[in-house]
Amino acid sequence: MHKVKAKGILSANNGMNIYRGCTHGCIYCDSRSKCYQMDHDFTDIEVKENAPELLADALSRKRKKCMIGTGSMTDPYLHLEQELKLTRRCIEIIAQMGFGLSILTKSAHILRDLDLLKQINGRSKCVVQMTLTTYDEDLCRILEPGVSTTRQRFEALKVFRDNGIPTVVWISPLLPYINDTEENIRGLLEYCLEAKVKGIICYGIGLTLRDGSREFFYEKLERHFPGLKEKYMATYKNAYEITSPNHIPLMKVIRDACRKNDIIFGMEEVFAYLREFDQTSEQISFF
């Protein structure tokens, strides 16, 4: 871990990353890719120690309330967050200033901040996004060794359901010849249905591999799935988009389940929902 004084915190689309790098160890992580030009070791987390101050300043200068997003590049609930509490401090500022929040994580530690998430959702809008890739718990510990298991994340989703906080689940990525099975998909969908998720995001059945992430992924395949690296190299070579041979039937399973259960599924529709700020709730809170 190393601390820096950042110059800014919000992107043009009102997204923020308080940390840079990750210690979760997910074998498929795209954030390891060289294209992101990280100038430090990926597991040596860059901590933007002045993130709360930058966020308060940025929000004070906004003319309109909006949704603030976090978690797209680095999980806001890395292990060191339990000590540093920078994510919590930023969420406190969002709550105090009446903005909305869209937060993405793979960690059940987000439940620590349930009080603040409820406060935001009561005044405006809070959406918790949770990634689920692998129904089998043993396989989950191989693919995502440093985060809460799928079952633990599912239990967290039910807590948000019971507290009226809407959730969106990312069923992604799904690795060819590993977790791209109908059994896995239906297991994850059962969790989504029981948790009454608002939306599901799935870019497709497969993953993306770029320089930096590809080498790490292949190293883990050699360790945990002997012979599979060679199959990937023969089938996909150096392709960026790695599409499962089960893509079409499995996408149909997900699409049909969403349609039957009134779950938002289209990419444009889900992202529009995540960006939409509920100003009605904010206005009511003033009376």
**DSSP secondary structure of 74-95:** S-TT-TTHHHH-HHHHHHHHHH
Q: Which helix (H) or strand (E) holds 140?
A: helix 137-143
Measure the N-to-C terminal CA separation of the chain; round to a whole number of Å. 45
pLDDT score for 37: 86
**Distance in angstroms (rounded) separating the CA atoms of residues 287 and 72:** 35
Angle at 276 between CA 275 and CA 280, to 5 degrees: 150
pLDDT score for 16: 97
pLDDT score for 279: 63
Query: pTM value?
Result: 0.94
Hey, is 161 helix, strand or coil?
A: helix
Stretches where the chain sits below pLDDT 70 are: 279-287
CB burial class (10 A; 0-12, 13-18, 19+) of residue 98?
middle
* Percent of the chain as helix, strand, coil, to the nearest 5: 45, 15, 40
Q: In terms of CATH architecture, what is 2-284?
A: Alpha-Beta Barrel (3.20)
